[in-house]
Amino acid sequence: MSHHSQLSIKAEPQVLAPLSTLFQSGIQVTIDNDVALTDLLLSLPGFTLSYLGDAVQTIFVNGVPLDDMQQPVQPGTTIALSAAMPGLAGAIFRKQGLHGSLRSKPVALTKTSTATHTVRIKLFNSIATDRAQDLFTHGVVVDAKAMLSVLERRPDMFSHADLELDSQGPVSLTQLKDHLSTAQSVRLHVLVQPAKA
């Protein structure tokens, strides 16, 4: 099992918006062999059958739209979840949609050999913002470079946050950026504190 740096951020709620863009790159989730997609998604904080049925309108597995939520997920798979997409594309790619026959037919997934038993889950639009606090409070593994990019785009959002790396105590924003520039991934925990009056 690979080691991930542990990053803890204590900050006001407004950090969730820039951090939720990390979901576009994806979070790494460890899986058991032959876990069904539904079971995998239900294991994520804040995801329920009701939420999957109502909010998640489009599911891609390795770039292919998927309707069968009971399909087993293989290590190395990339899963993307989206709320309703606009226009004809949304109508075509919507799970169980009336226009699903216009899609390319999915290719049967083959088992891949990989050293790790992880998948990448990407969240888009309202799915990312809806589930941000639940996922970040629980802790998620993200690419270090993606985290560095967020910090570089929005340093103002993190300048007053309490940053702690690998339980070694506080680090500065500059120290954190230096660390992320050489790391592969980081397990990110966010503790949202009430906004100061």
pLDDT (tens place) for every residue of the chain, 197 residues total? 457 899 999 999 999 999 999 999 999 999 987 799 999 999 999 999 999 989 998 899 998 888 888 889 999 999 999 997 544 444 444 444 444 444 344 444 445 444 458 999 999 999 999 999 999 999 999 999 999 999 999 999 998 899 999 867 899 999 999 999 999 999 999 999 987 76
Q: What is the pLDDT of residue 2?
A: 57
Q: What is the pLDDT of residue 67?
A: 81
Q: What is the pLDDT of residue 173?
A: 94
**Residue 103 tokens, joined:** 């899609």
Largest CA distance in the chain: 55
Rounded to 10 degrees, the C-alpha dihedral 86/91/97/103 comes to -130
Transcribe 70-133 into DSSP letters: TSEE-TT-EEEEESPPPHHHHHHHSTT-TTGGGSPPPPPP-----SS-EEEEEE-HHHHHHHHH
**Residue 9 tokens, joined:** 């951020």
**Residue 107 tokens, joined:** 């290719």
User: What's the predicted TM-score (pTM) here?
Assistant: 0.84
What does the domain layout of the chain look like in residue ranges? 5-192
Buried b / exposed e across 39-49, counting CB within 10 Å, b at 16+? ebbeebeebee
User: Measuring CA to CA, which residue among 166, 70, 77 is closest to residue 116?
Assistant: 77
Task: For residue 135, give the 3-state DSSP assignment.
Answer: helix
